Chain A
C-alpha cells in the first residue's frame, strides 16, 4: 500500500523524458538500484513504451499520426513532406540533432487530421505546405 503514496515508475520515467528527451543509461542504472529491480528487467519495461526513447533525441520530436482517419485525410503526403524537409526517415534523428521523426498510432484528434505533435504540442489540419511552414519556424 505504500506504493500508492510513492512516485510510480511511469511518472519517474516521464520526468526524465521531459528533462532529457530520452532516458539516459545512468538514470536507468540508478532507478534499478533504488527500486531494487534488475537492470535488464527495467530495460524491458522502458522499451515497451513508445514514448520512451533510449537514445538521445533531436531538439524537436515530431510525431505524425498515420492511423485510419488521418490516413484518409492524406497523412502520407504530409509525412513525405516532413521527410523531404528534415531529411530524416521515421524512427531516426537528423545528423544535426535537430529533428527526431516518428510515425505514431492514433493521437486522438481524428477528424482534425492530418495531425502531428512537436514536443507534445498538437498541430492539426495539416497539408504538405502547412507542415513545411511550421517546420521552417523552428530554430
Chain B
C-alpha cells in the first residue's frame, strides 16, 4: 500500500497500523497506553494523528493504513490536541499540587514526564485538581499501589491478564471514580496476586512500585551489633549497570561487589553459590524420583511468583514441585547455621540481605516455612538507589572479588538468571552423575532463548529425558493445562514467573522489554563461558560444605535446612 506520512511517500506491504507504519518510517508517535505486546486499548488518545478527509483525529495505535492514506503525525491540530490532553492528565494527576515528582519512585523514569517532554508542554493552563487523598494499597509484601498517581491507562491490567494470566487487576466504576483496583478493592496482598511484579515494569508512572527495604538495610548496616551479609542474584549483575546509564555487560560483576563493600556490608557473598547448591539438591531429588517412580514431572521451585501461582490455581500439582528451597533461601539457611558456626557468630546477630531482580522474593522471605533466614530483600532498582545515596558511581569503582567461602560459584549458577538456565545447569550435573562420564558439550542450546515454552529431549545414558522450559505465568498456565489433559508428558520442567526468566524480573531496571532482556541474557551466557568452573558439582566451596556440614545431597540435615513445604491457597 502506498501511503503518505507528512508529505513523504512510503510503501508497506502488510495491513499495519499507522503507529507501526510511522515507526518503520523512523517516526516515533507518543503514547501512554499502547504497548506492542498487549492488546491495544485506545484510551490515552495521545497517539492521535491527522488523516486527510477524516472528520476526527485517528488513534494511530489501532487505525490500520489504507491505500493512498495521507497522514500528518504532528500537524498544528495534532500538536494542540496532544498538548491539551497532556495538560488535562497533569491537572488530574496533581503533579504540581498534591504530588511532587521529586519523591516519586519513578522520578527519573516516569513516562508522563517523558511524553510531556516529547510533546513539548510549555504551559499549564488548567488548575490542578484538588483530589481526595486516595489510600495507598500496602497490603502486599512485595508491591505497593498508589492510586493517586495512576492515570488509568490499563497497562497493568492487560499485562496481568494477557501475559501473566493471573487476572487480579481490573478497572472499576465509571465517571470520576474510574480506577484500577483488585477484586472488591481488597488489596493486592489479599487476592491471588503472585507478586511477580510484571505490573510494576508495565506502569508508566509511580503508581506501582516495590515495597522498600532500603531504610531497614541502612539501619542494619549502621548497627554495630549486627553482622550484615549480602548475597547477589545472578540476574542483578548484568542489569545493575543500567541504573548508571551503562549498556548491558559494561559493568563488571566485580565492580558491583566493590560497590556493595563500600556500602558497608560485612561480607559480600553470591547467591550463585547457593544456586550451585540447589542444583546438587534438586539434581539428586530428580534422579531419586526417576529411579524410585516418584512424582513426575518434577517442577523447579526457585521462582516464588510461580510457586504462589501454583498454590492458588493448581494446588493439585504441589506434589510435583521440588521440595528444594530457592537459592536465596538456601543461602540464608546456610549462613545462619554453617557459616555462623564456623565463624563463631551468634545467628541472632546476623542480618541476611539479598539483592534480587525480583519482588516476589520479598514475599518469599516472609513465608513462615522460611523461618526468617533472609531478613531483607532489595531489588536491583533499590540497590541502584542505595549506591547513589552513598555517592558510589559503579562505572568508576575498581572491581573486587566476592568473599569466601560463600562467594564461589560456577557458570552453571550464573545462567540461573536466564530462562532455561536452571534446566541447563541441572542437565550438566545430572548427565555426569547418571552416566559417570565427563560432559564435553556443555551448552544446551535447545533450552535457551526467550520463547515462552521450549521443549527438548536430552539423551542421558540410555534414557530419553523429556524436558520443558517455561517462562511467563500465562505460558505456565498453558503447559499445566496440557499436562492435566495428559496431552503432554515430561520428566522435568523449569518454570519461571517472569517473561525471559529472572533477567526480566519485576525488580529489574526500567525499562525491561524484549531488547533489554536479550542484552542481559547475552551477558549472562558470556559470564558462563568465561567461568573457571562451569558445572555446579565442581564448585569447591560447595563440595566443602557437604564434606564439613551437610554430608551428602538430600541428607537429613540437608532436608532440614534446604528443603521446604507448600500450601494450597484458596
Contact = CB atoms under 8 A, between A and B. Distances in A.
- Touching in the complex, A and B, CB below 8 A? yes
Interface of A: 25, 28, 38-41, 43-44, 47-48, 54
Contact of B184 (A25, A38, A41, A48): A25
Interface in B173-190: 173-174, 181-184
B191 interface: yes
Given A39-B167, A43-B183, 7 more contacts: A38-B167, A39-B183, A39-B191, A40-B181, A47-B172, A47-B173, A54-B184
Contacts of B183: 39-40, 43
A43 B161 contact: no
Contacts of A54: 184
A7 B171 CA distance: 24
Contacts of A39: 167, 183, 191
B247 interface: no
A70 B37 CA distance: 48
Contacts of B356: none
Interface residues on chain B, size class: 10 to 19
Contacts of A44: 170-172
Contacts of B167: 38-41
B153 to A, nearest CB: 15
Contacts of A38: 161, 167-168, 170
A42 to B, nearest CB: 8
A127 B161 CA distance: 50
B166 to A, nearest CB: 8
Contacts of A41: 161, 167, 170
B172 A48 contact: yes
Interface in B155-209: 161, 167-174, 181-184, 191
Nearest to B178: A48
A39 B160 CA distance: 13
Given A38-B161, A38-B167, A43 B184 contact: yes
30 contacts: A25-B184, A28-B184, A38-B161, A38-B167, A38-B168, A38-B170, A39-B167, A39-B183, A39-B191, A40-B168, A40-B169, A40-B170, A40-B181, A40-B182, A40-B183, A40-B191, A41-B161, A41-B170, A43-B170, A43-B172, A43-B181, A43-B183, A43-B184, A44-B170, A44-B172, A47-B172, A47-B173, A48-B172, A48-B173, A54-B184
Contacts of B169: 40
A54 B173 CA distance: 11
Nearest to A45: B170
A44 B182 CA distance: 9
A24 to B, nearest CB: 11
A44 B174 CA distance: 10
A47 B170 CA distance: 11
A41 B160 CA distance: 11
B381 to A, nearest CB: 26
Among B167, B170, B174, max chain A CB count under 10 A is at B170
Interface string B301-318: 000000000000000000
A39 B193 CA distance: 12
A9 B170 CA distance: 18
Contacts of B161: 38, 41
Nearest to B167: A38
Contact of A48 (B174, B181, B182, B191): B174
A25 B183 CA distance: 10
A40 B187 CA distance: 11
A40 B183 CA distance: 4
Contacts of B174: 48
A54 B184 CA distance: 8
